[in-house]
Structure 1
Amino acid sequence: MKIIGMIILLIGCFILWQHFELKKFRITSYEYQTDKITQSVNFAVVADLHAHVYGRDNDILIQKIKEQKPDMILVPGDMIVSRYPETYETAYQALAKLTEIAPVYFSNGNHESRVSKVPVMQTEAFLAYENRVRKSGVHILNNASTELTLHGEKFCISGLEIPLECYGKGSYEPLPEHFIQEALGEAKKDAVQILLAHNPMFAKEYADWGADITVCGHTHGGLVRIPGIGSVISPQFELFPKYDAGEFEFDGKKVYVSKGLGTHTFHIRVFDRAEVLMIRINKM
């Protein structure tokens, strides 16, 4: 009986811990140096919100991002939970509030692609949601690019939407040959080339294409992490995935993978605090 009691107590403690853990997030900061600029630029990465709420109407999240004073906000997908249209309004409200802080650039994750590319009962609701998001001022970049100037510095921001087959569970489906070049053309060499690419599995391909900085999400940090080792399993059911969270470098080009802000299906985070990334680009 004592053993059963201890097990019940441990389960209760775990549930209580997770109840509070899922209400917390941190700011994780990185710096990137390049000879393409002379003035520093600061941007936030908001990934995988999945309509999660921090505080009333996400006021805690919005205020914390506002305090960082980003010059732009990058959102590499999965603001919604695809099969639940009731999550679309929460995602819309968050995106609309983010546009009041700084310009917002968004590209689809697998949850957005799932309801926009394959006709399902939620597709009509999603298309209405997407139209509202666009009207709120969010720059939607699905296999598209835009060029801009910040503090006198040139940037090109591209959003990559990969085939849904590349999100298959339990198997590895490579990107089709030349997919990125065909979707986006050549990377800009006379500007800081930033790529929004939801799935970090193809991190090296993003860098090889020519992205100076790539921002990803999708992994949720693995949900369960072992300190000193990393994620236990990826959304593709890959054990101990290489590109689970953090900063990765390929010949001077960087890929940043966010642990994300929300969850779906499995609502746990073990040694895996949700996060907003802040990336500062400095002169080399």
Structure 2
Amino acid sequence: MSSPLGRTALTTLGVVGAVGVGTAVWGIGIERYLYTVRRHDVRILPAGSTPLRILHISDIHMAPWQHRKQRWLAGLAEELRPDLIVNTGDNLGHAEGLTGVRAALDPLRGIPGVYVHGSNDHDAPLPRNPLLYFSGPSTSVPKPERLDVGALDDYLQSELGWHELNNAAASFTADDRLIAAFGVSDAHRHWDRLDVLPPLVADLAAQSPALTFGVSHAPYRRVLDTFTGLGADMIFAGHTHGGQVRMPGFGALVANCDIPLDQARGLSTWTADGRSVPLNVSAGVGHSIYAPVRFACRPEVSLLTLTAVDTQIAPDGGSGSER
């Protein structure tokens, strides 16, 4: 007959095993399909201004068979009616991913937008031990399969009419307001060229835009500091997947870059050289096809409603909500 201690140990192991299986079933089979709109109100417009609705999309990591994700994204144009789209990269997740991207984003035609690249817009994902992320930001893997980033750019620019901000800047009209935006290519791969931005931003400032945005795929501190110093009114980024697997009550365990973990998802404030600006880091819609899991971190887009500084925010609004 087994001892009480032995029975307790077996019971404990059984409970731990059951929790582990349940967590895996939830993260792999359920939560990664629970697509969510994370909503924020941001009071940064001049007094008396009408609201501006910005849809922030990131890290779609699209594979052609992901029809559920495609249908959900395709419905956002009619559901949310945004005035502006900000896309922070990693749209592709497979060599044939553009087929799914088209199905997902075609309804956004005619809405002004900007975008930058993530590395997975250039290179297909490769199998990787997820435990390596705990050792720090991941490094690139040699000789990945190349993706057709040119076809992606042609679609986003020529068909959707969006402006590319990879180490570049642009100005355009959204909701009858002149918007300026600048950005960098994927800082995680060291493709960012922060040195080229100052003269570009100076040219934008000369146009007296109503708002100026900074856009990056990966929210590295050097990028956020530079964007803040260059006068961005708000900064948008992705890349982190919000940690992808979060600890309830704690948050992200990893960010895959050097941003503080408590800013790896959602709306926060970034401060550099005495200046503070709103920063929105999207947890993204997708995941690598080799890491098909989300836990305590639903796939998401962000709807940011920019309002006047004198706007009264309802008690249940302002800090963000999921619906």
Give the alignment's TM-score, normalised by structure 1.
0.80
Q: Secondary structure at the match of 1:95?
A: helix
How far residue 177 of structure 1 moved from its aligned partner, in angstroms, is 6.6
What whole-Å deviation, never above 9, does each CA across 1:219-250 have from its counterpart, x for those lacking one? 000112233432101224x6963531122223
Indicate if the aligned counterparts of 2:228 and 2:276 stay in contact, CA closer than 8 A. Answer: no
Matched positions, count: 270
> In the alignment, which of 208, 211, 222 is matched to residue 232 of structure 2?
211
Matching residue's letter, 2:215: L
Q: Tell me what 1:42 maps to.
A: 53
Indicate how the Cα distance of structure 1 residues 122 and 36 shifts in structure 2: closer, same or farther if over 3 A, else same.
Answer: farther
Q: Tell me what 2:108 maps to.
A: 98
Q: Tell me what 1:244 maps to.
A: 264
Q: Tell me what 2:89 maps to.
A: 77
Q: Tell me what 2:174 maps to.
A: 150
Structure-2 separation of matches of 1:12 and 1:134? 44
Is 2:34 aligned against 1:24? yes
What whole-Å deviation, never above 9, does each CA across 1:35-83 have from its counterpart, x for those lacking one? 28722211100110101677546222321442111011110111112xx
Could you tell which deviates more after superposition, 50-59 or 18-27?
Answer: 50-59
Q: What stretches of structure 2 of length at least 5 have no aligned partner? A: 1-9, 125-141, 310-323
Could you tell which deviates more after superposition, 245-254 or 191-200?
Answer: 245-254
> In the alignment, which of 171, 184, 188 is matched to residue 160 of structure 1?
184
How far residue 97 of structure 1 moved from its aligned partner, in angstroms, is 3.1
Q: Tell me what 1:170 maps to.
A: none
How far residue 3 of structure 1 moved from its aligned partner, in angstroms, is 5.9
Q: Secondary structure at the match of 2:99?
A: helix
Is 2:91 aligned against 1:67? no
Q: Tell me what 1:125 maps to.
A: 148
Percent identity (aligned)? 19
Q: Secondary structure at the match of 1:9?
A: helix
Matching residue's letter, 1:259: A
Structure-1 separation of matches of 2:184 and 2:260? 25
How far residue 7 of structure 1 moved from its aligned partner, in angstroms, is 5.0
How far residue 261 of structure 1 moved from its aligned partner, in angstroms, is 0.7
Q: Tell me what 1:178 maps to.
A: 195
Q: What stretches of structure 1 of length at least 5 have no aligned partner? A: 168-174
How far residue 275 of structure 1 moved from its aligned partner, in angstroms, is 1.3
Structure-2 separation of matches of 1:135 and 1:176? 25
What whole-Å deviation, never above 9, does each CA across 1:246-270 have from its counterpart, x for those lacking one? 2222334211111111011322222
Matching residue's letter, 1:17: W
Q: Secondary structure at the match of 1:185?
A: helix
Structure-2 separation of matches of 1:151 and 1:69? 12
What whole-Å deviation, never above 9, does each CA across 1:169-216 have from its counterpart, x for those lacking one? xxxxxx77735426x433637320012211112323321221101111
Is 2:160 aligned against 1:137? yes
Q: Secondary structure at the match of 2:190?
A: helix
Matching residue's letter, 2:155: R
Matching residue's letter, 2:182: S
Structure-2 separation of matches of 1:200 and 1:138? 25
Indicate if the aligned counterparts of 1:230 and 1:240 stay in contact, CA closer than 8 A. Answer: no
Q: Secondary structure at the match of 2:92?
A: coil
Q: Tell me what 1:201 maps to.
A: 220
Could you tell which deviates more after superposition, 55-64 or 66-75?
Answer: 55-64
Indicate how the Cα distance of structure 1 residues 258 and 78 shifts in structure 2: closer, same or farther if over 3 A, else same.
Answer: same
Structure-2 separation of matches of 1:20 and 1:185? 44
Indicate if the aligned counterparts of 2:88 and 2:118 stay in contact, CA closer than 8 A. Answer: yes
